[in-house]
Amino acid sequence: MEPIVNNNKKVVIFTGATDGIGRETINVLAQERGLKLILTARNIEKGNKVAEELNRDYKAKNDELEVSVMKMDMASLESIKEFVRDFKALNIPLDTLVCNAGVMPSTYQTTKEGYEHTFGINHLGTFLLTYSLVDKLNQSTFGGNIVIVASRMHYKITKLDMDHLQSNEKTFSYQNDYSRSKLCNVLFAKELDKKLRARGSNVKVNSLHPGFAVTSLIREWGYFAQKVVGAMAFVFGNKLEDMAEGMASLTLNKANETGKYYQLKRIEEPSKLSRKEGLSEQLWNKSCELLALPQELTL
Protein backbone atom coordinates (compact mmCIF):
# COMPACT_ATOMS: atom_id res chain seq x y z
CA MET A 1 0.00 0.00 0.00
CA GLU A 2 1.31 3.45 -0.89
CA PRO A 3 1.73 5.89 2.02
CA ILE A 4 -1.46 7.83 2.80
CA VAL A 5 -0.85 11.47 3.68
CA ASN A 6 -3.17 14.14 5.00
CA ASN A 7 -3.69 16.89 2.42
CA ASN A 8 -6.87 18.43 3.83
CA LYS A 9 -9.28 16.29 1.84
CA LYS A 10 -12.30 14.57 3.37
CA VAL A 11 -11.23 11.05 4.26
CA VAL A 12 -13.86 8.43 3.44
CA ILE A 13 -13.61 4.78 4.50
CA PHE A 14 -15.94 2.68 2.35
CA THR A 15 -16.55 -1.03 2.96
CA GLY A 16 -17.95 -3.34 0.28
CA ALA A 17 -16.63 -1.18 -2.54
CA THR A 18 -15.36 -3.91 -4.87
CA ASP A 19 -18.77 -5.26 -5.99
CA GLY A 20 -22.38 -4.36 -6.63
CA ILE A 21 -23.92 -1.13 -5.38
CA GLY A 22 -20.77 -0.20 -3.50
CA ARG A 23 -18.69 -0.41 -6.66
CA GLU A 24 -21.20 1.73 -8.56
CA THR A 25 -21.25 4.28 -5.72
CA ILE A 26 -17.47 4.57 -5.77
CA ASN A 27 -17.74 5.51 -9.47
CA VAL A 28 -19.96 8.44 -8.44
CA LEU A 29 -17.72 9.49 -5.55
CA ALA A 30 -14.62 9.32 -7.76
CA GLN A 31 -16.01 12.30 -9.66
CA GLU A 32 -16.38 14.37 -6.47
CA ARG A 33 -13.48 16.72 -5.74
CA GLY A 34 -11.86 16.98 -2.33
CA LEU A 35 -12.21 13.34 -1.25
CA LYS A 36 -9.63 10.79 -0.19
CA LEU A 37 -11.25 7.36 -0.69
CA ILE A 38 -10.03 4.42 1.38
CA LEU A 39 -11.55 1.18 0.14
CA THR A 40 -11.48 -1.88 2.36
CA ALA A 41 -11.11 -5.28 0.72
CA ARG A 42 -10.86 -8.87 1.90
CA ASN A 43 -9.07 -9.63 -1.36
CA ILE A 44 -6.38 -6.96 -1.67
CA GLU A 45 -5.67 -7.79 -5.33
CA LYS A 46 -9.32 -7.22 -6.19
CA GLY A 47 -9.27 -3.96 -4.24
CA ASN A 48 -6.17 -2.76 -6.07
CA LYS A 49 -7.82 -3.61 -9.39
CA VAL A 50 -10.77 -1.35 -8.47
CA ALA A 51 -8.36 1.46 -7.55
CA GLU A 52 -6.57 1.06 -10.90
CA GLU A 53 -9.90 1.19 -12.76
CA LEU A 54 -10.94 4.34 -10.91
CA ASN A 55 -7.65 6.08 -11.69
CA ARG A 56 -7.90 5.00 -15.33
CA ASP A 57 -11.50 6.14 -15.76
CA TYR A 58 -11.70 9.29 -13.61
CA LYS A 59 -8.24 10.74 -12.93
CA ALA A 60 -8.29 12.80 -16.11
CA LYS A 61 -11.66 14.32 -15.14
CA ASN A 62 -10.80 14.76 -11.47
CA ASP A 63 -7.14 15.51 -10.82
CA GLU A 64 -7.84 15.48 -7.07
CA LEU A 65 -8.87 11.82 -7.15
CA GLU A 66 -7.06 9.84 -4.46
CA VAL A 67 -7.83 6.17 -3.84
CA SER A 68 -6.16 3.79 -1.40
CA VAL A 69 -6.93 0.18 -0.52
CA MET A 70 -6.60 -1.41 2.91
CA LYS A 71 -7.13 -5.05 3.83
CA MET A 72 -10.05 -6.07 6.04
CA ASP A 73 -12.14 -9.22 6.27
CA MET A 74 -15.55 -8.49 7.79
CA ALA A 75 -15.93 -12.19 8.63
CA SER A 76 -13.10 -11.87 11.16
CA LEU A 77 -13.37 -9.63 14.21
CA GLU A 78 -9.59 -9.78 14.58
CA SER A 79 -9.17 -8.57 10.99
CA ILE A 80 -11.46 -5.62 11.74
CA LYS A 81 -9.45 -4.78 14.86
CA GLU A 82 -6.22 -5.02 12.84
CA PHE A 83 -7.63 -2.68 10.19
CA VAL A 84 -8.59 -0.15 12.87
CA ARG A 85 -5.09 -0.33 14.37
CA ASP A 86 -3.49 0.09 10.93
CA PHE A 87 -5.73 3.02 10.03
CA LYS A 88 -5.18 4.84 13.31
CA ALA A 89 -1.42 4.32 12.92
CA LEU A 90 -1.58 6.42 9.75
CA ASN A 91 -2.37 9.41 11.95
CA ILE A 92 -4.73 11.00 9.44
CA PRO A 93 -8.29 12.27 10.01
CA LEU A 94 -11.48 10.33 9.34
CA ASP A 95 -14.52 12.23 8.13
CA THR A 96 -16.92 9.63 6.73
CA LEU A 97 -17.49 5.94 7.29
CA VAL A 98 -19.76 4.00 4.93
CA CYS A 99 -20.62 0.52 6.21
CA ASN A 100 -21.84 -1.07 3.00
CA ALA A 101 -20.27 -4.54 3.20
CA GLY A 102 -22.88 -7.25 3.70
CA VAL A 103 -23.76 -10.82 2.82
CA MET A 104 -26.87 -12.89 2.17
CA PRO A 105 -25.64 -16.49 2.00
CA SER A 106 -28.03 -19.18 0.83
CA THR A 107 -26.62 -21.76 3.25
CA TYR A 108 -25.57 -21.75 6.89
CA GLN A 109 -21.99 -20.56 7.36
CA THR A 110 -19.99 -19.17 10.25
CA THR A 111 -17.45 -16.40 10.72
CA LYS A 112 -13.93 -16.90 12.07
CA GLU A 113 -15.31 -16.50 15.61
CA GLY A 114 -18.20 -18.91 15.03
CA TYR A 115 -21.08 -16.46 14.54
CA GLU A 116 -23.65 -17.14 11.83
CA HIS A 117 -22.28 -15.38 8.75
CA THR A 118 -25.18 -12.99 8.14
CA PHE A 119 -25.37 -11.79 11.73
CA GLY A 120 -21.62 -11.84 12.26
CA ILE A 121 -20.77 -9.77 9.19
CA ASN A 122 -23.83 -7.58 8.66
CA HIS A 123 -24.33 -6.60 12.29
CA LEU A 124 -21.43 -7.52 14.58
CA GLY A 125 -18.74 -6.59 12.06
CA THR A 126 -20.48 -3.31 11.27
CA PHE A 127 -20.96 -2.58 14.97
CA LEU A 128 -17.33 -3.28 15.89
CA LEU A 129 -15.88 -1.28 13.00
CA THR A 130 -18.09 1.75 13.62
CA TYR A 131 -17.72 1.67 17.40
CA SER A 132 -13.93 1.49 17.04
CA LEU A 133 -13.76 4.51 14.70
CA VAL A 134 -16.27 6.84 16.36
CA ASP A 135 -13.49 8.62 18.26
CA LYS A 136 -11.74 9.48 14.98
CA LEU A 137 -14.99 10.61 13.36
CA ASN A 138 -15.72 12.81 16.37
CA GLN A 139 -12.47 14.68 15.72
CA SER A 140 -13.39 15.49 12.10
CA THR A 141 -13.09 19.18 11.30
CA PHE A 142 -15.79 18.68 8.66
CA GLY A 143 -18.17 17.01 11.13
CA GLY A 144 -18.12 13.21 11.04
CA ASN A 145 -20.62 11.25 8.97
CA ILE A 146 -21.67 7.58 9.23
CA VAL A 147 -23.79 5.65 6.73
CA ILE A 148 -25.10 2.24 7.79
CA VAL A 149 -26.45 0.36 4.78
CA ALA A 150 -29.58 -1.53 5.84
CA SER A 151 -32.50 -2.81 3.77
CA ARG A 152 -36.25 -2.49 3.59
CA MET A 153 -36.29 -6.22 4.31
CA HIS A 154 -36.00 -5.21 7.97
CA TYR A 155 -39.79 -4.61 7.84
CA LYS A 156 -40.27 -8.41 7.68
CA ILE A 157 -39.16 -8.89 11.29
CA THR A 158 -41.95 -8.42 13.86
CA LYS A 159 -40.12 -9.70 16.95
CA LEU A 160 -36.51 -9.49 18.10
CA ASP A 161 -35.28 -11.81 20.84
CA MET A 162 -31.93 -10.72 22.29
CA ASP A 163 -31.10 -14.35 23.10
CA HIS A 164 -31.77 -15.51 19.52
CA LEU A 165 -30.24 -12.82 17.31
CA GLN A 166 -28.64 -15.43 15.07
CA SER A 167 -29.76 -18.80 13.80
CA ASN A 168 -28.15 -22.21 14.04
CA GLU A 169 -27.75 -24.81 11.32
CA LYS A 170 -31.31 -26.11 11.88
CA THR A 171 -33.11 -22.77 12.09
CA PHE A 172 -31.20 -20.94 9.34
CA SER A 173 -33.32 -19.07 6.80
CA TYR A 174 -31.52 -16.77 4.38
CA GLN A 175 -34.49 -14.37 4.23
CA ASN A 176 -35.16 -14.26 7.97
CA ASP A 177 -31.51 -14.05 8.95
CA TYR A 178 -30.77 -11.32 6.43
CA SER A 179 -33.90 -9.36 7.40
CA ARG A 180 -33.04 -9.64 11.10
CA SER A 181 -29.46 -8.48 10.48
CA LYS A 182 -30.79 -5.45 8.58
CA LEU A 183 -33.16 -4.64 11.44
CA CYS A 184 -30.10 -4.73 13.67
CA ASN A 185 -28.45 -2.22 11.31
CA VAL A 186 -31.38 0.18 11.62
CA LEU A 187 -31.49 -0.19 15.40
CA PHE A 188 -27.73 0.26 15.70
CA ALA A 189 -27.79 3.48 13.67
CA LYS A 190 -30.68 4.76 15.78
CA GLU A 191 -28.99 4.04 19.12
CA LEU A 192 -25.58 5.32 18.00
CA ASP A 193 -27.18 8.59 16.89
CA LYS A 194 -28.98 8.86 20.24
CA LYS A 195 -25.75 8.31 22.20
CA LEU A 196 -23.80 10.79 20.08
CA ARG A 197 -26.48 13.46 20.49
CA ALA A 198 -26.43 12.91 24.27
CA ARG A 199 -22.67 13.50 24.25
CA GLY A 200 -22.97 16.71 22.21
CA SER A 201 -21.15 15.17 19.24
CA ASN A 202 -21.46 16.59 15.73
CA VAL A 203 -21.13 13.16 14.09
CA LYS A 204 -24.14 12.32 11.90
CA VAL A 205 -25.53 8.79 11.65
CA ASN A 206 -28.11 7.58 9.13
CA SER A 207 -29.22 4.19 7.84
CA LEU A 208 -30.12 3.53 4.23
CA HIS A 209 -32.08 1.11 2.09
CA PRO A 210 -30.10 1.53 -1.15
CA GLY A 211 -32.71 -0.04 -3.44
CA PHE A 212 -33.28 -3.44 -5.01
CA ALA A 213 -31.25 -4.90 -7.86
CA VAL A 214 -29.39 -8.08 -8.74
CA THR A 215 -25.89 -7.74 -7.29
CA SER A 216 -23.06 -9.95 -6.04
CA LEU A 217 -25.07 -10.34 -2.80
CA ILE A 218 -26.67 -13.45 -4.31
CA ARG A 219 -23.62 -14.83 -6.14
CA GLU A 220 -23.62 -18.00 -4.01
CA TRP A 221 -27.27 -18.80 -4.72
CA GLY A 222 -28.32 -21.52 -7.13
CA TYR A 223 -29.12 -20.90 -10.78
CA PHE A 224 -32.92 -21.05 -10.37
CA ALA A 225 -32.96 -18.74 -7.34
CA GLN A 226 -30.82 -16.20 -9.16
CA LYS A 227 -33.18 -16.28 -12.14
CA VAL A 228 -36.23 -15.71 -9.90
CA VAL A 229 -34.58 -12.76 -8.14
CA GLY A 230 -33.46 -11.42 -11.52
CA ALA A 231 -37.03 -11.49 -12.81
CA MET A 232 -38.30 -9.74 -9.67
CA ALA A 233 -35.61 -7.09 -9.95
CA PHE A 234 -36.53 -6.51 -13.60
CA VAL A 235 -40.16 -5.80 -12.62
CA PHE A 236 -39.81 -4.18 -9.19
CA GLY A 237 -36.15 -3.21 -8.93
CA ASN A 238 -34.16 -0.02 -9.15
CA LYS A 239 -31.49 1.06 -11.59
CA LEU A 240 -27.99 0.59 -10.21
CA GLU A 241 -27.10 4.15 -11.15
CA ASP A 242 -30.06 5.50 -9.11
CA MET A 243 -29.04 3.35 -6.15
CA ALA A 244 -25.46 4.58 -6.42
CA GLU A 245 -26.61 8.20 -6.58
CA GLY A 246 -28.65 7.69 -3.41
CA MET A 247 -25.78 6.13 -1.49
CA ALA A 248 -23.31 8.74 -2.74
CA SER A 249 -25.70 11.52 -1.73
CA LEU A 250 -25.88 10.24 1.85
CA THR A 251 -22.11 9.66 1.88
CA LEU A 252 -21.65 13.36 1.14
CA ASN A 253 -24.65 14.30 3.38
CA LYS A 254 -24.59 17.94 2.39
CA ALA A 255 -27.91 18.46 4.22
CA ASN A 256 -26.26 17.36 7.50
CA GLU A 257 -29.16 15.04 8.34
CA THR A 258 -28.84 12.64 11.24
CA GLY A 259 -30.93 9.95 12.91
CA LYS A 260 -32.87 9.23 9.72
CA TYR A 261 -33.73 6.13 7.67
CA TYR A 262 -33.47 6.62 3.91
CA GLN A 263 -34.77 4.76 0.90
CA LEU A 264 -32.50 5.91 -1.90
CA LYS A 265 -32.68 9.71 -1.51
CA ARG A 266 -35.97 9.86 0.44
CA ILE A 267 -36.34 9.95 4.21
CA GLU A 268 -38.84 7.23 5.19
CA GLU A 269 -40.32 5.78 8.37
CA PRO A 270 -38.51 2.59 9.43
CA SER A 271 -40.46 -0.41 10.70
CA LYS A 272 -42.77 -0.21 13.70
CA LEU A 273 -40.56 -2.67 15.58
CA SER A 274 -37.44 -0.56 14.99
CA ARG A 275 -39.26 2.33 16.69
CA LYS A 276 -40.15 0.29 19.78
CA GLU A 277 -39.06 2.07 22.95
CA GLY A 278 -35.87 0.67 24.44
CA LEU A 279 -35.22 -1.97 21.76
CA SER A 280 -32.24 -0.20 20.20
CA GLU A 281 -30.63 0.18 23.62
CA GLN A 282 -31.19 -3.52 24.37
CA LEU A 283 -29.47 -4.44 21.11
CA TRP A 284 -26.61 -2.04 21.83
CA ASN A 285 -26.01 -3.58 25.25
CA LYS A 286 -26.22 -7.15 23.90
CA SER A 287 -23.82 -6.34 21.06
CA CYS A 288 -21.32 -4.78 23.47
CA GLU A 289 -21.58 -7.92 25.59
CA LEU A 290 -20.90 -10.21 22.62
CA LEU A 291 -17.97 -8.10 21.47
CA ALA A 292 -16.60 -7.47 24.98
CA LEU A 293 -16.89 -3.68 24.52
CA PRO A 294 -17.78 -1.05 27.14
CA GLN A 295 -21.36 0.16 26.73
CA GLU A 296 -20.15 3.74 27.11
CA LEU A 297 -18.62 5.27 23.97
CA THR A 298 -15.13 6.75 24.11
CA LEU A 299 -15.02 9.98 22.13
User: How does strand 66-71 pair with strand 266-268?
Assistant: unpaired
- 188-212 in b/e form (b: 16+ CB < 10 A) is bbbbbbebbeeeebebbbbbbbbbb
Sign of the C-alpha dihedral computed for residues 17, 21, 23 and 27 taken in this order: negative
User: What is Dmax (Cα atoms) for the chain?
Assistant: 53
Q: Which residues contact 270 (CB under 8 A, 6 or more apart)?
A: 154, 186, 190, 207, 261
Pairing verdict, β 261-263 and 266-268: antiparallel
Determine the residue type at 134. Answer: V
Whole-angstrom Cα distance, residue 251 to residue 142?
13
The yes-or-no answer on residue 174 being catalytic is no
CB-based contacts of 27-31 (< 8 A; 24+ apart in sequence)? 27/54, 27/57, 27/58, 27/244, 28/244, 28/245, 28/247, 28/248, 29/248, 29/251, 29/252, 30/54, 30/57, 30/58, 30/62, 30/65, 30/67, 31/58, 31/61, 31/62
Active-site choice (115, 178, 261, 262): 178
Active site residues: 178
